[in-house]
Structure 1
Amino acid sequence: MESRAVVETMEAVEASVSALSGLVRHAVGSMGTASADPLRDQADACLDGLAELARTEARMAALKVHFAAGYARAAMASAAPARSPQEHTAQDMALTAEVACVLTVSERTAGALLAEAQALSTTLPLTLSALQAGNISWQHARIMVDETDNLDTAGAAGLEAHFLDPDAPSAARGCPAGDLVPARFRAKARTWRERHHPVSIEKRHNRSAAERRVEYTPDRDGMAWLSAYLPASQAAGAWDRITTAARSLQGADEARTLTQLRADVAATWLLTSGRETAGNATAGDVPSPAAQVLITVPALSLLGLSEEPAMLDGYGPIPPSMGRALVADGASSFLRVLTDPCDGAPLEVGRTSYRISTALRQWLRLRDGKCPFPGCNNQSLDNDADHLLAWADGGSTGISNLGQPCRKHHRLKHTSGWKPAGASPTEPPGWTSPAGRHYASEQPDWEPPVLPVEILAMTTSRDPGEPDPGTLEPGLLGSGMPDYLDEPPPEFDLTDHPLAEDPFKDWELFLAYDSYAAA
């Protein structure tokens, strides 16, 4: 055990306890003061107390890590060398049983704690430091252990730095990792891991696809679970198709919830092919709409020149071959969108009318990825497009004045003091509570495109003093874009060679060449 680290963590815990004591006294005594608003003072003190208590719990978890890892090292060092694999296993079992009994938990839980303590104390220093400082919770630390599993040392360090080192070259955008609810942090960490895993996502997907299956698990009260392990594109398409059909059945005369309707629709399609009754509605009334899966494929990946993952709305990175297949099959919601060629961020599409067009709604889905309320997981297809500043109050219908809250948080905006604000072309709006506290919204982690070696080789023959394309600053066109991009394109006589009709009517939203020329 590193005694210095333990002492520093203990001092941080003591400081938290002292701060909590002061907050408790303030919360209890504020009602007897001559303050102009004692109730608000008490409410603020309670919220501050909850925040400090969360930091204290994180620091206590860091102490548990230090003690668990320290006991494991001491016990193994004092034990006689194992003479066989069986003896080594017996020593591990004895060690785990000791910790389980001390903590009054199962041996499985104790074993997980020892494994997590080992990883945090040896290979994840930034995570353990953030836990000791109270900047992340124990749940965040466990997720970091899970998502760095099977990564090499460099990969684990890169994932840590991306989320926990604000000075890292490719630090995560938006609110800090500790400000994300654990489920959202896991989604972002998994996305980064998929993009940067040393083994190609194609190889990992092919290996996992061979394990696809449907499972049946009996449950209580005459119920059971039926689950399917499928390629992400199939699962996302099936989920959207079921949801769309279930929503079409909702109405004043329909008593079933959306969740119940999803279950009834799925059972109807699986058991009857839509020819018999299901619940209190006939299967013939259940429409069978085409799936609408938003798939964003990098241009070079679409052309087969790179192996960058595509992004599936509501899921995350998928193999580029799956993205190309969805595009080739004519996925109806595939959106060709103008993106910044240096940092991968989409660009704003301006609008002047009140009506929010389909293209702008799709753009909102790309910018936000989900309902922007902190911690909400509701995906884009179920959300509302909403003016942050009402049109009647002078708000424009531009991307910087739009959000896509889910129904629940849309109602929250109009029926309480919660208000969204601070949207930009690349950032979803954060939310300010009735207590005056602002909570940042999660942001998608865009990354610069990975250029294939053939294209990189074309940049090697440049004039002396011309900036290296690999050092371009992020942002549209960057500050060191080569001079040839500022020159007008050459003129060609197309009189006798007319171009074929463009199959993509919105192609200008996909390529940034006009922006280059204008710049």
Structure 2
Amino acid sequence: MTTNLALTPVQLIELDRVVSGLAKIRSLKSQLEAREAALLAAASSLACDVSDTGAHPDGGSMAHRMIASDIGAALRESDRTVTTRMGRAFTLITDYPHTHDAVAAGLITGAHAGVITDAGSIVTDPVNREHYEAAVLEVAVVETVGRLRPIAKELAERYATESLDDRHDRARACRSVRVIDLDDSMAELRALMPAPYAYGVMDRLKQMSHLVKEAEHTTHADAVKATRGAGA
């Protein structure tokens, strides 16, 4: 442990106790996250097995919802949340086993693992995925989640099976606009579009807001002048 503070021997001992205690707790939390991921992945596998046994025509979605409902009731989480977590856990266990092992060993956190699997979604070739996982884990064990994210994306791009242009063309087909109601008679406008257009819209909105503020300021100043003139 290193520190630039001028601490007394007693304070140094207390600081060491706090830091080492927190490190142990974080390691234990990571181990529990790994065990939880293993159980969620097992639940996903069970749902697939139930679906295969019953030859369900829905592709297993009903089996997943049923099992997610039971888990959600026990954990007080929504079925949708549990279903999402089951899918992410299954991906971690099956596609990134070494990442799961690192979480289980307390070397990285579940948040690190999430960054690795999210960024690696574009790496579909199994061999390339192994190379990506090995490279990104070297960074994950020494970096924070925030610093890992851009590095993981860069590494994933290097091992991606499909080019960025091809992925962009496919993503363009998902363009959308929606309005989300908020409190106090407000609403949020969300638009999914190519990044250059999004930044262009943002720039235009900022220009419009400046013009509105300038107009309001001018109107207010004119009103003040008129009031003062009338008073004179």
Q: Same fold (TM over 0.5)?
A: yes
One of 207, 213, 228 as aligned partner of 1:269: 207
Higher helix residue share: 2
Deviation at 1:268, TM superposition (A): 5.6
Alignment deviations for residues 232-290 of structure 1 (CA, whole Å, 9 cap, x no partner):
34555776xx6xxxxxxxxxxxxxxxxxxxxxxx646246xx654358656xxxxxxxx
| Other structure's SS at 2:168 match | helix
Q: Does structure 1 residue 207 correspond to structure 2 residue 166?
A: no
Q: Does structure 1 residue 113 correspond to structure 2 residue 51?
A: no
Aligned residue number for residue 139 of structure 1: 111
One of 145, 149, 155 as aligned partner of 1:182: 145
Q: Distance in 2 between matches of 1:75 and 1:224?
A: 38
Q: Distance in 1 between matches of 2:127 and 2:44?
A: 25
Aligned residue number for residue 133 of structure 2: 160
Deviation at 1:183, TM superposition (A): 3.7
Does the CA contact (< 8 Å) of 1:96 and 1:107 recur in 2? yes
Q: Does structure 1 residue 70 correspond to structure 2 residue 8?
A: no
| Other structure's SS at 1:149 match | helix
Does the CA contact (< 8 Å) of 2:136 and 2:155 recur in 1? no
Q: Distance in 1 between matches of 2:135 and 2:82?
A: 30
Matched letter for residue 193 of structure 1:
A
Distance 1:86 1:212, change over 3 A: closer
Q: Distance in 1 between matches of 2:128 and 2:29?
A: 29
Give % identity. Answer: 24
Matched letter for residue 180 of structure 1:
E
Q: Distance in 2 between matches of 1:63 and 1:222?
A: 44
Does the CA contact (< 8 Å) of 2:51 and 2:60 recur in 1? no
TM-score (norm 1): 0.36
Alignment deviations for residues 152-180 of structure 1 (CA, whole Å, 9 cap, x no partner):
3123222211111x4xxxxxxxxx31443
Deviation at 1:134, TM superposition (A): 0.9
Distance 1:118 1:36, change over 3 A: same
| Other structure's SS at 1:148 match | helix
| Other structure's SS at 1:86 match | coil
Query: What are the within-5 Å matches in structure 2 for residues 233-312 of structure 1?
Result: 233=196, 235=198, 267=205, 269-270=207-208, 275-278=211-214, 281=217
Deviation at 1:132, TM superposition (A): 0.8
Q: Distance in 2 between matches of 1:73 and 1:211?
A: 30
| Paired residues, number | 211
Distance 1:228 1:66, change over 3 A: closer
Matched letter for residue 142 of structure 1:
G
Does the CA contact (< 8 Å) of 2:51 and 2:59 recur in 1? no
Matched letter for residue 206 of structure 1:
D
Q: Distance in 1 between matches of 2:126 and 2:71?
A: 28
One of 224, 227, 230 as aligned partner of 2:187: 224
Query: What are the within-5 Å matches in structure 2 for residues 308-319 of structure 1?
Result: none
Q: Distance in 2 between matches of 1:222 and 1:68?
A: 40
Deviation at 1:51, TM superposition (A): 1.8
TM-score (norm 2): 0.73
Deviation at 1:186, TM superposition (A): 2.5
Deviation at 1:73, TM superposition (A): 3.8
Does the CA contact (< 8 Å) of 1:268 and 1:278 recur in 2? no
Does the CA contact (< 8 Å) of 1:147 and 1:193 recur in 2? yes
Q: Does structure 1 residue 81 correspond to structure 2 residue 64?
A: no
Gaps of 5+ in 1: 1-34, 167-175, 243-265, 283-519
Q: Distance in 2 between matches of 1:119 and 1:269?
A: 44
What's the Cα RMSD here? 3.2
Q: Distance in 1 between matches of 2:108 and 2:121?
A: 19
Does the CA contact (< 8 Å) of 2:27 and 2:106 recur in 1? yes
Deviation at 1:123, TM superposition (A): 1.6
Aligned residue number for residue 104 of structure 1: 76
Q: Distance in 1 between matches of 2:47 and 2:170?
A: 39
Aligned residue number for residue 156 of structure 2: 193
Distance 1:281 1:57, change over 3 A: farther
Matched letter for residue 194 of structure 2:
P
Q: Distance in 2 between matches of 1:127 and 1:61?
A: 12
